[in-house]
Amino acid sequence: MCEEKHWNSSQLRRYDLQFEQIPRIHYTDPKIDELISANKPVVITGSNIIKTARDHWTPEYLEQNLGVAGHTVFSSKTHKFKYFDDSKISKNNLNGIEFIPPTRKCKMRMGEFMKKLREWKPGNDRLYLQQPLNNTVGPLIVEDFAHFDWEYVNKRQAKHNWGPLTSNLLLISQEGNVTPCHYDEQQNFFGQAYGYKRCILFPPSDFECLYPHPVFHPHDRQSMVDFDRPDYVKFPKFGNAKGCETVVEPGDVLYIPIYWWHHIESLMRGGPTVSVNFWFKGGPTSLSYPLKDHQKVSITRNVEKMLLEVLQDPKEVGPLLRSMVMGRYS
Ligand SMILES: CCC[C@@H](CC(=O)O)C(=O)C(=O)O
Ligand SMILES: [Zn+2]
């Protein structure tokens, strides 16, 4: 039966890369757990994981029920919302390295946020509400949240030895917004409640093609490559990245494995989107050989942290690593 499509490819941004499709599998199919065990992405379809959000969480419903507290809203002069850790902006940490925050963070009531979205004109700052669900939300949201299929989620968490659930982030995006390519150190069930989002994922083994900022940098874990205008001189291996993609629709839950790179965009001309993610700490990892790719990424992070700790000056880390490797390990 041909599925009715609610979007077309002109709503996707163009990049220089080709992508495989991420498999879409019904939640009752045991293949789901096979892929999660293998730390591979999969779109879980037809489940009740976030059914109450899929049924109720339109932007208008959220405007009525999210509560009167101020919510965390990012604003950007471009369509990109590149995350940065403001605790890493301190003078001595950057040691003269210039950093210009690409977005501004503020607290905004839902009514004001929705009004600005309705009145948005090209040239205005773009907005992206990103708020952990907590006890400030209204009773109907609490009710919907309580009726997520926690049994299904908790079973996966236990079966795959994930750590504790750390947060559920509510994401309300303007059409066309992009969260640029980055990885998180958490397992993620990414639930799509309203609208359509294109998700491009790359395995941890693409580390060399995606050039993450140094660990001490505020953009730690974020790719240095601008997907809209890749600099192939600075990032010559970017063209070798082997990504996979999907467009998640209301009710879908995309499993984004820990340390997998992901770039997520709300479709252009697709209206606002609403997502809710489930971030879990990674489970206890025993160093079994051969090491998994994400374990190697974790090891490089520890090496960078240790070197910075002992060298103090971030500008000395590169030269020391080069002197260690060039002509000896290269
Ligand atoms: C702040 C989190 C944003 C989200 C991507 C997106 O929906 O724009 C993501 O990267 C994640 O769920 O890990
Ligand atoms: Zn992420």
**What is the reported pLDDT for 3?**
67
Kindly give the distance from the C-alpha atom of residue 211 to the centroid of ligand 2, in angstroms, as a whole number.
16
Encoded tokens for 255? 């499993």
Kindly give the distance from the C-alpha atom of residue 261 to the centroid of ligand 2, in angstroms, as a whole number.
8
- Look at residue 222 and give its three-state secondary structure: strand
* pTM of the model as a whole: 0.97
Kindly give the distance from the C-alpha atom of residue 222 to the centroid of ligand 2, in angstroms, as a whole number.
9
pLDDT tens digits for range 33-90: 999 999 999 999 999 999 999 999 999 999 999 999 999 999 999 999 999 999 999 8
pLDDT tens digits for range 143-164: 999 999 999 999 999 999 999 9
DSSP string, 262-325: EEEEEPTTS--EEEEEEEEE-------SSPPHHHHHHHHHHHHHHHHHHH--GGGHHHHHHHHH
**What is the reported pLDDT for 115?**
97
**What is the reported pLDDT for 168?**
98
Instruction: Measure the CA–CA gap between 301 and 103, rounded to whole angstroms.
Output: 25
pLDDT tens digits for range 194-228: 999 999 999 999 999 999 999 999 999 999 999 99
Task: State the chain's mean pLDDT as an integer.
Answer: 96
Instruction: Measure the CA–CA gap between 66 and 52, rounded to whole angstroms.
Output: 14
Q: Which residues pair with 193 in a beta bridge?
A: none
Residue 298 has pLDDT above 80, yes or no: yes
Kindly give the distance from the C-alpha atom of residue 217 to the centroid of ligand 2, in angstroms, as a whole number.
17
- Of 84, 177, 179, the residue with max ligand 1 atoms within 8 A of its CB, to mutate for a pocket test, comes to 179
Percent of the chain with pLDDT over 90: 93
Confidence bin at 94 (pLDDT 50/70/90): confident
User: ipTM of the assembly?
Assistant: 0.99
Ligand 1: residues whose CB is within 6 Å? 130, 169, 171, 179, 184, 188, 190, 262, 264, 275, 277
Residue 95 has pLDDT above 90, yes or no: no
Mean pLDDT of 175-197: 98
**What is the reported pLDDT for 93?**
72
Mean pLDDT of 17-27: 98
Q: Which residues pair with 199 in a beta bridge?
A: 246, 264
**What is the reported pLDDT for 1?**
56
**What is the reported pLDDT for 285?**
83
